[in-house]
Chains A and B, each alone.
Chain A
């Protein structure tokens, strides 16, 4: 780990980032939440875009959105990009493309099915990019 990564890791431990996980499949959502909590993040969850908007309105501390493309996930990413550009978005999907995710405003695209390490890496990369 480089100096930047070390500083980032220390900051994260002292003031963990808050991630909102949006996924309609409850078991996948549970696993994603567990993976990210194990990695040291605060994690909030929503099962669709409408619920996500509600959580976003109530939690200004959210800094990363991780969403599937179903349940209007790409529209949610675009909405976040327009209304709260400080929040970075990660899109996960089994059939959408990285280009579609990027066009919607996502920082990173992760193809399903993903390994636990893959989404942790994606979050780290998102943090490092900004």
Chain B
């Protein structure tokens, strides 16, 4: 019999040690809701002296600071129900530690009726977690606001850029309309086309998913469509075609490539066919091999020297193409003969896939 009492006492001591050493605040209450054992973490968390807890009614603890209606509800439920109550949220101003948020977990552990039951009451302090969650939600809200602001600013910037380009194009167009010299008009119209070539990049940047790259194939097609619209007609019949591999080009390079195409196409349409020719053809090819590329513009016209613009001093178009090619770290090669002319702008390391 003594041995049995010793065993019970050992078990009780062990249980008390376990309760006292758990990390989370924990209370063992009897059926009258009197504290039997409190964990060290409970004393530490709520800044209550260990001497104040044993035999103390929970609701009178800390001068009635624990007389919390929600806690009443929870513990009454625990005494009646066999099931555990998990995650019961209590938000309370505690006398010593101030406002805290806790999740309470309660479980009836002994006895088959409320009269002999014990209750384990665990506390999970979620004050910091909730504060972090709140801070995170506020941060997300601020991020969303900033993203919206950015979108509005981008749209405004896009409008400003496009309108500025349209204003420049309008001035050139109005000036071209006003001048009496046909040569000056041609120069102003060429300048207008160059502005529109830069503008085409802007349109493609706006419509692409990424703001810093341009889809090269649709960009060149659209650009040549505009050039054809402004230069090809009954007095100058020609077929302008674009063959381009799929690929992306950063916006700065796209501007240079677009201007090169504009210069070469203007040059071909102006000088390759001195007389209207229904079979006139200008082809733009853009080939990609890995990170390398080759751009060529060819025609089936009369063929001419590299510096072909008869009225331009030193050939402005050719100078522009060379300067732009240099900017792209590319080389310009011109092949001309009776069957036409071909100007290629190539990265020095480019190897054609058909040749490889």
Contacts and interface: CB of A to CB of B under 8 A. Distances in A.
Interface string B140-164: 0000000000000001001101110
Contact of B167 (A25, A35, A115, A116): A25
A13 B174 CA distance: 23
Contact of A30 (B162, B174, B195, B226): B174
B32 interface: no
Nearest to A30: B174
Contact of A94 (B166, B171, B174, B226): B166
A70 B171 CA distance: 21
Majority-rule SS of A interface residues: helix
Interface string B255-294: 0000000000000000000000000000000000000000
B196 A94 contact: no
Interface residues of B, number: 24
B159 A30 contact: no
The CB with the most chain B CB atoms within 10 A, among A27, A30, A32, A38, is that of A27
A111 B203 contact: yes
Contacts of A115: 196, 226, 229-230
Contacts, number: 60
B163 A112 contact: yes
Given A34-B177, A38-B177, A113 B165 contact: yes
A31 interface: yes
Nearest to B158: A95
A114 interface: yes
A28 interface: yes
A74 B196 CA distance: 25
Nearest to A111: B203
Nearest to B161: A94
A12 interface: no
A70 B196 CA distance: 21
A5 B171 CA distance: 31
Interface of B: 155, 158-159, 161-163, 165-167, 169-171, 173-174, 177, 195-196, 199, 202-203, 206, 226, 229-230
23 contacts: A25-B166, A25-B167, A27-B167, A27-B170, A27-B174, A28-B166, A28-B170, A31-B169, A34-B173, A34-B177, A94-B162, A94-B166, A95-B158, A95-B206, A112-B166, A113-B166, A113-B169, A113-B196, A113-B202, A114-B166, A115-B226, A115-B230, A117-B229
Interface of A: 25, 27-28, 30-32, 34-35, 38, 70, 94-95, 111-118
